[in-house]
Structure 1
Amino acid sequence: MTANVAAEQAGRTRPGPVVQPEQMGDDPTIPTLTELLSQRAQDSPEREFLRFGEWSWNFAEIDAWSSRLAHRMIEVDGIQPGDRVAIMLPNVVHWPLVWLAALKAGAVAVPINSSYRRADLDFVLRDSGARVVFTDAERSGLVADVTAAEAGLADVRVVDVADDGSEHYPDTAPAVPVDAATLANLQYTSGTTGFPKACMLTHDYWVRLGWICAAATGLGPGDVLLTAQPFSYMDPQWNTALALTVGAPLVVLPRFSASTFMADVRRHRATFCYVLGSMPTLLFKQPPAPEDRDNDLRLVFCSGIPVGLHAQLEERWGAPWREVYGMTESGIDLFSPFDDTGAVGSGSLGHPVPTKRIRVVDPDGTDVPDGEPGELIITGTPMMNGYWNRPDDTARTLREGWLHTGDLAVRRPDGGIQLVGRIKDMVRRGGENVASVEVEAALERDDRVVAAVVVAEPDEILGEEIKAFVQLAAGVPADRATAEGIVERAGKELARFKVPRYIEFVADFPRTPSERVSKPALKARAKDDPGVTYDLGARRNSTASHTASGAGSLDVDVIRGVAVLTFQRPDKLNALDVATRLRLAAAIRGFGTGERVRGIVLTGAGRAFSAGEDLQNAPSTDAEVRAAVESFHDITRAILETQVPVVAAVNGLAVGGASEITLCCDTRIGTPATEYYQPENIRGLTISNASSVLLRRLVGNHAMRMILGSPRIRADEALRIGLLDEIVEPGELVGRAIDTVIEWTPEGSTTALHLALLRPQAAEIEAAFAREDRAASTAWESGALSAGIERYWSARGNRA
């Protein structure tokens, strides 16, 4: 072991490529990882191989240490060829050491994510049948607890790598036969859809992957490789195979950090690295620095690079970035050569490596024409042997020798391949297919956005709606104005049906070990611990309606798992026209099933909760009167039919029909500014929300005075007579309403059953509707309604 001094690399001369580009399709000259290590220890024993932090190990040191540990595995742990050896470690030198030692013992390595907890760990140990787990002090207790708690894991040995006990064993490898076809890894996929599956990967898989990447990059012993991903994922492992192939050092960072990554690249004088997923975007979002181009990078491989940032990334750090495509199942499949400058910003993944063939097919397996989307399927080497213990999954994925990737792709006119999304990562919105990746790319081109993730949100009308989880740049407020601005900008690039309806701001994203966002985990987190979600479709829809017919607006947000419906027409005191009332009833029904939210809060914007009928667009025919009254009835039905609590957060003046809407709610919370006003009688109107039942049910004989005398009922009196159940300060109103919903819906509660018992019965409400309909018709036919409206406008004109 030697201390690493970065300055030692300053004078390094750079020999030529170890594998020439024209050799890419050849079989590797050395067939196994263990032989590769042995060869490097012979021809370059003192050359640096692995660098972790300030410490480095040369090829000879790692070869000897891994040989000693392999002997220990055989003699102490009883490991035999084919046995599984699990590795549960963070990015420390013991990770590749144990991997290479296990392979020398003829064992099969089982990488385990070091952040796994009990359930995940239990699954992998059981599924793999691991005989021993190499871990550290931080995780050994968890591993021991899991193995002790389950009878089937009682014989699993736990080894703390801090004291592996290998120092007294021989420095030469055990005499265990290993060839290219020997199984090397059970490499578990990231598990984005349920429990992960283990890909069976051979020595040939890893050696061939290193060989092809060496030919594609032209790397040699004078280069320095750098990786920052968890070693349990395949990327640091193929980087290790690449380092063994070309005889170059591999620098392993503890983790990826966007703020320090390029400083580490400079400090270690790295000439090559691989970044994927959100890493390029997160790097670019870092503030530019004068020293950005002060680095030794010659080549960067990347996957999922934002098309719009490609040229800027190259310009900023002064090195070519090229796309490479592959999967755990297949290693490397496609790449863009570094001399292909036309690939920059094109979105192309390039062409297949010489050992692979690709097709783009429809669901029947027929090749689709160029330019049309289909599933990308692949055959050739390297390739997994199949999924461990999963014959059915293997048969579905590997069909007649072709790997079905699940990726949607198009073949470009130049023969290159461009991804357009995942088959299962599409939003089916009203008959239109929307690729999440396209919407994510449009959102991420906004300077306010660090990263965006798009998922499908169930919708009763369209089937699915588009929801975007957005991580904002530092200093950008997570408010409705920002959400609207981001969506407005994206809408200039996307077809209208592709524009997200819902925006939820998040601080970060749950990720797989490969640094890809785990959308199932993200959706589960949003369900269990929801953030503030802005429903921008409500405003878009109502704005369009307002242009055509003067309709009002209703904003819909989801906060802490509660739907907050806000009357958004303060210039009209939130007067409710028919369009707004219909939308309100639909929103209440949509959320009222309890499948998406715990409850509903109704509130208003400005100084008024809301008014009733918009008298500026008052009914002018008997049919319009009937439609107006029926729309109020429908709101009442919608509220009383919900399976969740409905709370009225009465922020100010509640007039007429809007006042009556609060009577249907399960509780009413107000502020000192809350005021109830029922002017129907003096305007020739009639009550219309089954108030003939609901009002008397709440306030008893006070109902007569409220309706016939039409006084203004201030907050204190409303609390006294039962119109309000609580008064809070204005700034606490919506929060208190949300708290009430949460208090009333504890886990495992029978809230829905109690709501049905406590609310008025449907027959009673429908009888009230019938009486009110007759009264409304009489008022219309007598002319009292029209006269009352005229008096209203005359009084407003005189005041003006």
Structure 2
Amino acid sequence: MESRDFDWLAAARERYRRIGEETLPPNVMALLESAAAAHPAAPALHFIETGRELTYAELLRSVHRLAAGLSEAGVEHGSHVGVMLPNVPEMPITWLALAAIGAVMVPINTRYTAHELHYVLTDSEASHLVIHTDFTGHLEMMPAAIAGLTTIAVGASALPGLLSWQALADRPAEPFSPARAPGLDDLLNIQYTSGTTGWPKGCMLSQRYWLTCAKAYADSDGLHYRRIMSSNPFFYMTPQWLMLMAFFHGATLHVAPYLSLTRFTEWLRHYQIEFCWFPSDIVAQVPPQPEDGELSLIRGNLAVHRRDLHAELERRFRFPARAAFGMTEIGTGLMMPIEAAEMVGSGSCGIAGPFREVRIADPAGNTVPPGSSGELLIRGPGMLQGYYKRPDATAAAFHGDWFRSGDLAVQDEHGFVTIQGRIKEMIRRAGENISATEVEAALLAIPGIAETAALPVPDALRGEEVKAYIVLGEGRSVEDLPPEQIIAQCSRRLASFKVPRFIEYRSAPLPRSTSGKVRKPDLVAEKTDLRAGSWDRMTGGWL
């Protein structure tokens, strides 16, 4: 990056420093109670699909009632509760009620299969499960029953033995008082995230984590937001901190049922949204409309993947689009200050945000000079406490107290960080992180497959697609195990977004190192177009 002077940079850094020194609320419920006391009649949550709205006073009463009901159902301080719900009011109410008790939510992706649901519930040692009736069929399809699991259904269910969420929520409106007040460092979430070593790992995230993340985004630019929108599923981290960010402002969080590129800007205009995480793919995938510039956004955050689209996005939609970088493990990380108009199109994700320090290091953890590539390391309060029951993975994720992001990055002399790629082996399809090892494990569970390797294939629409290399067992042929059968069996073990799109059969063994690991760079080097010679799930034919 060329040398230049930023007369606003010192002020932005000072603002971030002051935010990091301010006192956080004692816990998540204290933040909600404070917002409800200041803005009782203001709408806290608005659900776009149904039009349902909850004021701050109504939300607080609903949380107190459900907390009392869950306590009667055996949820106590430290209990682990799986939650498999779509973007319905019951989802944030359940999370906040668990926060009030001092219990721990284990969010579960609603696209998970019965196998994946069983894994998360058993790995997290969940004592309770809150599940929407759209997904209760998974309970009968899990590989094995989970002893002692209490299941609470949202909606009417024909399955016997399930408790009713609504019945638990219909408690007297008296303020709930927990047996033990939750503290900032009490666990609030075990948030599962795909890694590079097999099944997803549970990130242990405290109440401090969520308040730190929300406050950093709420105050980073010194602006006031009245209307915020979330379009991601609530089982991801973004809607959770966006809701707490809204609480800090006494603002309304408008909750979309799902991410829709074609309807996104329509929602922004209709509800006069002032802050959101803006999907930059809209620029490439949605044709320009005359009303594109009629937005009320004061700031939109985006993850910069294509720097060439950044300036076009600002010109087309006429709002300050600023990059930011975060991870499940760290919450907030890098932020581009609102003043940084001259950085549009640079590809940089910004400087260390509030509560954070960053540096670039070599494999041994030593800081490299400005302008040199290395691994992005982050530290500060309110990051993950570790991976649940994975002490080795936790130790490997840190250099001392610096978290290893797994991202290759460079930092210039002004402190701006640009992400260059991923060190960790991960496939990122349409915003979803997919562990290649998890895909390979599902493939190897299919009788007749002797060897397999999952690799990313560049894709203009989704960023990357999943390709599986297949070596069949001796005496087996493609006719014995056709690609349609492989896809069908994968679909029973993996969420739809993890199922391979491309399949290539190989007659020769996979190339391996002396330690026995598959040499995936050798596979990539075999052809310029990794799709060539593969079967394509989307077309149902060979390429």
TM-score normalised to structure 2 length: 0.75
Q: Partners of 2:274 and 2:113 in 1: how far apart?
A: 36
Residue 129 of structure 2 corresponds to residue 126 of structure 1:
no
> Contact 1:68 / 1:171 at 8 angstroms: preserved in 2?
yes
> Contact 1:64 / 1:172 at 8 angstroms: preserved in 2?
yes
How far 1:116 sits from its partner (Å)?
0.9
Change in CA separation of 1:374 and 1:61 when aligned onto 2, cut-off 3 Å? same
1:262-304, CA deviations, whole angstroms, 9 ceiling, x for partnerless residues?
00111111011013xxx31244421101000112111001113
SS of the residue corresponding to residue 533 of structure 2 reads strand
Residue 80 of structure 1 aligns with which residue? 76
How far 1:467 sits from its partner (Å)?
7.4
Residue 198 of structure 2 corresponds to residue 194 of structure 1:
yes
Residue 320 of structure 2 aligns with which residue? 320
Residue 182 of structure 1 aligns with which residue? 186
Aligned CA-pair RMSD: 3.6
> Contact 2:108 / 2:120 at 8 angstroms: preserved in 1?
yes
SS of the residue corresponding to residue 110 of structure 1 reads strand
How far 1:52 sits from its partner (Å)?
0.3
Residue 143 of structure 1 aligns with which residue? 139
Change in CA separation of 1:318 and 1:305 when aligned onto 2, cut-off 3 Å? farther
How far 1:245 sits from its partner (Å)?
1.2
How far 1:160 sits from its partner (Å)?
2.4
Change in CA separation of 1:132 and 1:467 when aligned onto 2, cut-off 3 Å? closer
Aligned length: 449
Residue 533 of structure 2 corresponds to residue 558 of structure 1:
yes
Q: Partners of 1:171 and 1:272 in 2: how far apart?
A: 34
Q: Partners of 2:267 and 2:536 in 1: how far apart?
A: 41
Residue 459 of structure 2 aligns with which residue? 470
1:2-21 superposed matches below 5 A: none
Q: Partners of 2:270 and 2:505 in 1: how far apart?
A: 40
1:484-531, CA deviations, whole angstroms, 9 ceiling, x for partnerless residues?
xxxxxxxxxxxxxxxxxxxxxxxxxx9xxxx9x97xx36x3322899x
Change in CA separation of 1:142 and 1:151 when aligned onto 2, cut-off 3 Å? closer
Residue 333 of structure 2 aligns with which residue? 333
**Bigger proportion of residues as helix:** 1
> Contact 1:28 / 1:211 at 8 angstroms: preserved in 2?
no
Counterpart code for 1:470: D
How far 1:354 sits from its partner (Å)?
4.1
Q: Partners of 2:536 and 2:313 in 1: how far apart?
A: 39
Residue 34 of structure 1 aligns with which residue? 29
Of the three residues 257, 260, 263, the one matched with 1:260 is: 263
Q: Partners of 1:539 and 1:362 in 2: how far apart?
A: 31
Residue 157 of structure 1 aligns with which residue? 151
1:510-529 superposed matches below 5 A: 521=498, 524-527=500-503
Counterpart code for 2:339: D
> Contact 2:79 / 2:104 at 8 angstroms: preserved in 1?
yes
Residue 105 of structure 2 corresponds to residue 109 of structure 1:
yes
Change in CA separation of 1:528 and 1:38 when aligned onto 2, cut-off 3 Å? farther
Residue 234 of structure 2 corresponds to residue 246 of structure 1:
no
Q: Partners of 1:191 and 1:230 in 2: how far apart?
A: 20
1:139-538 superposed matches below 5 A: 139-143=135-139, 145-146=141-142, 150-160=144-154, 163-176=166-179, 177-190=181-194, 194-220=198-224, 223-275=226-278, 279-425=279-425, 468-471=457-460, 521=498, 524-527=500-503
> Contact 2:126 / 2:149 at 8 angstroms: preserved in 1?
no
Q: Partners of 1:133 and 1:536 in 2: how far apart?
A: 42
Counterpart code for 2:291: E
1:345-398, CA deviations, whole angstroms, 9 ceiling, x for partnerless residues?
111111112422222111122222222211111111221111111111001112
Q: Partners of 1:529 and 1:69 in 2: how far apart?
A: 53
Q: Partners of 1:540 and 1:382 in 2: how far apart?
A: 44
How far 1:214 sits from its partner (Å)?
1.3
Counterpart code for 2:261: A
Give unmatched runs, 5+ long, in structure 1.
1-18, 427-435, 445-452, 456-463, 474-509, 542-555, 563-734, 740-800
Q: Partners of 1:341 and 1:305 in 2: how far apart?
A: 18
1:145-182, CA deviations, whole angstroms, 9 ceiling, x for partnerless residues?
53xx6354343323325634321334312233111111
> Contact 1:28 / 1:207 at 8 angstroms: preserved in 2?
no
> Contact 2:76 / 2:102 at 8 angstroms: preserved in 1?
yes
Q: Partners of 1:201 and 1:45 in 2: how far apart?
A: 29
How far 1:29 sits from its partner (Å)?
4.0
Higher relative contact order (CA 8 A, sep 6+): 2
Change in CA separation of 1:359 and 1:191 when aligned onto 2, cut-off 3 Å? closer
1:210-247, CA deviations, whole angstroms, 9 ceiling, x for partnerless residues?
11111114343x52100111110000011011011111
> Contact 1:284 / 1:313 at 8 angstroms: preserved in 2?
no
SS of the residue corresponding to residue 527 of structure 1 reads strand
Change in CA separation of 1:540 and 1:526 when aligned onto 2, cut-off 3 Å? closer
How far 1:559 sits from its partner (Å)?
4.6
Counterpart code for 2:106: V
Residue 21 of structure 2 corresponds to residue 45 of structure 1:
no
> Contact 2:196 / 2:425 at 8 angstroms: preserved in 1?
no
Give unmatched runs, 5+ long, in structure 2.
1-13, 156-164, 437-452, 463-489, 507-522
> Contact 1:23 / 1:215 at 8 angstroms: preserved in 2?
no
> Contact 1:281 / 1:306 at 8 angstroms: preserved in 2?
no
How far 1:314 sits from its partner (Å)?
0.7
Q: Partners of 1:114 and 1:170 in 2: how far apart?
A: 31
Residue 519 of structure 2 aligns with which residue? none
Residue 63 of structure 1 aligns with which residue? 60
Change in CA separation of 1:171 and 1:293 when aligned onto 2, cut-off 3 Å? farther
- State the 4+ residue runs in structure 1 displaced beyond 6 angstroms: 535-541
Residue 91 of structure 2 corresponds to residue 95 of structure 1:
yes
Q: Partners of 2:536 and 2:317 in 1: how far apart?
A: 43
Counterpart code for 1:525: R
SS of the residue corresponding to residue 327 of structure 2 reads coil
TM-score normalised to structure 1 length: 0.52
